Chains A and B, each alone.
Chain A
C-alpha cells in the first residue's frame, strides 16, 4: 500500500471554538491506482490533500506514505518527502512566474535530483508545449498553464500525484482534454493519483471515489 491514512483528525481554530474539519478519516491507495475525493465546499477535501502532501499536519492519526508515518516529521524531512515522493497539481496552477516554460517543467525533477531530459522532451510533446518552451507563464492560456503544471509534476516521476481541482479553472472542453492527458501520463509513470474534485463526471473516470461530508468519509 502506497498510502494509508488512519483515524485522521484535524481542527481549525475559529471565533466560535475549534472547527472539526476532518473526523476519523481512514483511507488507503495502492500504487498505480487513482482515487477521486469528492465533497461540498468546506468538507475538508483540500485539507486532506494537504495533510497527505506533508504541507500541514493532523491533530491526530497516522499517515503512512511508502511505509513511513509522516506525522511528526520535522520540516526538513517533510520537505525531502515532497521532493522525493509527492507531486502536486493545483487549481491555480501556481507556476513560477520568473521561469520560462522549459525551466518550470524541469524545476521539480531537478529539485528532486532526478532530471531526465529525454522524458521532459516526451512530456513537452505529449502536453503540446513544445512550441511554447521559451514563453513565460503569463504569456500562456489557462489550459496551457495547467498542462505545464501537470508536466512539472510528472517530470519528477513521483510515486504519488495529488491534484486539487486540476481542471477547476478551465472550461469543460479544455478541462476534459487536460484530464485525459493527466490520467494517461499518470498511468504511464505508474504513479498513484489522489484527485480532489467537485465533479461527479470527472470522479467517475478514476478507479475509485470516496465522498467527504462534514469531515467524514461517507
Chain B
C-alpha cells in the first residue's frame, strides 16, 4: 500500500520536471547561501581557536602588567628565584619587507608542556633555535609569504595561526627592538607551595585567567553575526520559492489525494508519504546546496579574510577546509526549511475533508480576516521594533530590532499594496483599467509571499548600500583629513631616522614624527601616538568632540585625545581620566573618528610621549611639502638613503591602498546582497509560474469577451512590473530604516564607530531598474506562455469543471 501510494505521488514530478527543478533549485540556493556563510564562519572561528590556543593561552593563566606594557626581564628572574614556575613570552608586530607579522618569542627551556605548539627542545632543533640568527616557525601559508623576505631561517609548523611567527625570546627581543623586555609570563598549572606572594615579588603584575584571553573571537563575533544574519535572510528568501513550489504541487495533486483517500489510504499514511517525499528532496537539494555553498564560500573567503584583517587584525587563511559540521548543519537546515515551507500545505491536507470539491483552492481569495490578522501581527512587530529602538541596547537588541522591522514590514506589505491598488482602481477610468487594478489586487494573496521576499531583498539592498555608500563618503573625507601630509617615510634604524630627519629639515616645510608605543588602555589593547604641535593636526584632524583649545592642551602635555572606538567601548568621554601604559594618568580632552582601526588609539603631545616612553621607536615621519615637489623629494630620499620603495609612500598611494581595502571589506556583503536579490527574483518567477496555471479561469472570460491573448499577456507582464515597482517603493523607506539601524546601532556595537547617514537616490533608481528587470524576466515566461496558448486550452475553462 505504502509503495503504491508513494509511486502515485512521485509520478506527479515525472510529469512536471520544471516544477521539480524549481523546488530543488530554491532549496539548493537557500541551503547554499546559508552553508557558505557557515563555512566561512567555521573557518574563521577555527582560526581564532588556533590563535587563542597558541602557547596554551586557552588553558594557562598568565601574569601581565596592569597597564599592559612590557615588563623587565628581571621580573621573570625574581619570580623564578621566589619559587614561581613561570615562562617568559614577548610578542609584538613587525614588518619583514612588505609582510607584517606577529612575532612570538618563547623560552623553550621553561615553557610549560601545555604551551608547546612546536617542540623545539628536543634533538638537533634546540641549538639553532636559541642561537643567532635563530629560527622562525610559521604556518605553511605564512612561511610561503616569507620566502621572498630577508628573515632568519623559516621552518614550517602546522598548528600555528596564520600571520604569526614563533622564535626564541632572545631573537624576538632583537627583532622587536625590545632588549631585556618581556610581554607576559605563562604560569605552569602546578605551582610549588610556600612560594613568595606575587605582590611582594612582582608588584604591579596581575593574574589573567585563561578565559579572559579570547579577545579576537569576542571582537569578531559581531562580524560573524552580521554574516549569519545575511545568510539567514537569504535562506528565508529561498524558502519562499520552496513554499511556492510545494504549495503548487499539493494543489495540483488534490484530486490524487482525494482518490488515494477514497481508495483506502489513511490520511496519516498519506501525510507520512508526503513527508517522506519531501525528505528525499530536502536531502538531495541539501547535498547540492552545501556543495554549492562551498563554491560560494571559496569565492568569498579571500575577501572575508581581508575584511577581518583590516577591521580586527585577525588572520584567517584564505582557503577552506571541508568540515563535517558544515555538511551536517547544511543538510539539517535543508530538511528543517523544507518542513517549515511545507507545514501549511501538510496541515491543510491533514484537515482536507474526503469529499471536498476538487476545485483549486481560493488562493486569490484570502479572507479579510486573515489579512486583518496579518496587519495586526505587522503592527505588533513594528511597535516592538520601535520599542527596541527606544529602550534596547547591545548588538543582540540591534539584530532583534532589524528582525522585527523587516518581518513587520514584510507582513505589512500586502496590506499596503492592497490599499494602493484599491486607490489606483478608483482613480483609473475604463473597464480594462478597472479590471486590471481589481484583478491585480485579487492576485495579491497568491503573490504576497514572493513580493514579501522581494521586499526583504530590496530593503536589505537599499539598507546595506546606503550604509556602505555613507561609509565610503565619510571614509573618503576622513582619509583626506587624516592623510594631510604629502609623504610618509619609515627608516630602517634609529640612526638612519635621525639622518633622514636632518636631511629633510632643509628640504621640506615640516617633518612630523609618527612615533607610537603599544599597551593596554582601560583594559583594551591600544596604541599611544605622539604628535607635534603643527597646523597639520590643528587644521585637519577629524575631531568629533573636544574641549576648547584642545591642541594647546595636547602640546602642553595636559590631556589626551582618544579614538571613537575606545570612547564607545569603554564609555569614556571628555574630562574622564585614563591610565596609560607605565601607570601615568591623563584627562580626555577630545574624541576623534578613526574608521577601520581595530584597536583603541590615544594621542598625546610628542614631548609627553618621549618623556614617558624614552625607548619609543623613532623610525616614522610625515613630511609636509608643496604637493608639486613631493614626487621629487621622495625620489631624492630613496636615492640619498637607499630606501626601499615601500619605505617612502606618498599620500595618494596610501589613499588608493586604503580605498582598496575598504572596497574589499564590503565586497562580501555586496555579493550576498546580489545573491539574495537573485533568489527573490526566482521566488517571484516560481510564484508567477504557479499562478499562471490557475489564472486561466479568470483570464478566459475576458478573452471570450473580446480581448486578444497577446493583449492579455501584456497586461500580465504589466501586472508583474507594477507589483515589483510598488514593492520597490515600499522597500525604500524600509531600507532607509534598516540603514539607520545598521549605522546607529549595529555598526557602533560591532565596530565601535558611528557614521553619518547619507542618502543616494541614484543607487535606488539603479536598484529599481534591476528589480523591474528581474520582475520583467520573472513575468515574461508566464506571459509568453499565455500569448502562445492555444484557444482550445482557454476553451477548456468553459467546457469542464476545473
CB of B792 closer than 8 Å to a CB of A: yes
Are B700 and A94 interface neighbours, CB within 8 A? yes
CB of A111 closer than 8 Å to a CB of B: yes
Are B439 and A56 interface neighbours, CB within 8 A? no
CB of A183 closer than 8 Å to a CB of B: no
CB of A112 closer than 8 Å to a CB of B: yes
- When distances are taken between beta carbons in the complex, the residues of chain B under 8 Å from A88 are 704-705
Are A94 and B697 interface neighbours, CB within 8 A? yes
A134 to chain B, nearest CB (A): 13
- When distances are taken between beta carbons in the complex, the residues of chain B under 8 Å from A56 are 791-792, 795
- When distances are taken between beta carbons in the complex, the residues of chain A under 8 Å from B711 are 79
A91–B704 Cα distance when bound, in Å, is: 14
- When distances are taken between beta carbons in the complex, the residues of chain A under 8 Å from B792 are 12, 56
Given contacts A99-B435, A111-B432, is CB(A94)–CB(B706) below 8 Å? no
Are A110 and B431 interface neighbours, CB within 8 A? yes
CB of B701 closer than 8 Å to a CB of A: yes
Are B438 and A107 interface neighbours, CB within 8 A? no
B447 to chain A, nearest CB (A): 14
Count of chain B residues with a beta carbon within 8 Å of a chain A beta carbon: 34
- When distances are taken between beta carbons in the complex, the residues of chain B under 8 Å from A217 are none
Are B795 and A50 interface neighbours, CB within 8 A? yes
CB of A157 closer than 8 Å to a CB of B: no
A55–B431 Cα distance when bound, in Å, is: 21
Are B704 and A83 interface neighbours, CB within 8 A? no
A83–B703 Cα distance when bound, in Å, is: 10
Are A99 and B438 interface neighbours, CB within 8 A? yes
Give the number of A-B contacts (CB < 8 Å): 90
Are B704 and A82 interface neighbours, CB within 8 A? yes
CB of A180 closer than 8 Å to a CB of B: no
B686-705, CB under 8 A of A: which get 1 and which 0?
00000000000110111111
- Residue on A with the closest CB to B698? A97
Given contacts A75-B710, A94-B704, A112-B706, is CB(A107)–CB(B435) below 8 Å? yes
CB of A174 closer than 8 Å to a CB of B: no
Count of chain A residues with a beta carbon within 8 Å of a chain B beta carbon: 34
A97-123, CB under 8 A of B: which get 1 and which 0?
111000100111011100000000000
Are A90 and B710 interface neighbours, CB within 8 A? no
A112–B704 Cα distance when bound, in Å, is: 12
- Residue on A with the closest CB to B712? A79
CB of B797 closer than 8 Å to a CB of A: yes
CB of B441 closer than 8 Å to a CB of A: yes
A21–B45 Cα distance when bound, in Å, is: 73
- When distances are taken between beta carbons in the complex, the residues of chain B under 8 Å from A76 are 708
- When distances are taken between beta carbons in the complex, the residues of chain A under 8 Å from B192 are none
Are A107 and B795 interface neighbours, CB within 8 A? no
A88–B702 Cα distance when bound, in Å, is: 11
- Residue on A with the closest CB to B801? A92
- Contact partner of A98 (CB less than 8 A), chosen from B431, B432, B435, B704, is B435
Are B798 and A90 interface neighbours, CB within 8 A? yes
- When distances are taken between beta carbons in the complex, the residues of chain B under 8 Å from A75 are 708-710
Are B439 and A96 interface neighbours, CB within 8 A? yes
Are A53 and B439 interface neighbours, CB within 8 A? no
- Contact partner of A55 (CB less than 8 A), chosen from B435, B698, B710, B795, is B795
18 contacts between A and B (CB under 8 A): A12-B792, A46-B798, A55-B794, A56-B791, A79-B706, A79-B711, A83-B705, A92-B798, A94-B700, A94-B797, A96-B438, A98-B698, A106-B431, A108-B706, A111-B431, A111-B706, A138-B362, A164-B798
A residues contacting B by CB (< 8 A) are: 12, 46, 50, 53, 55-57, 75-76, 79-84, 88, 90-92, 94-99, 103, 106-108, 110-112, 138, 164
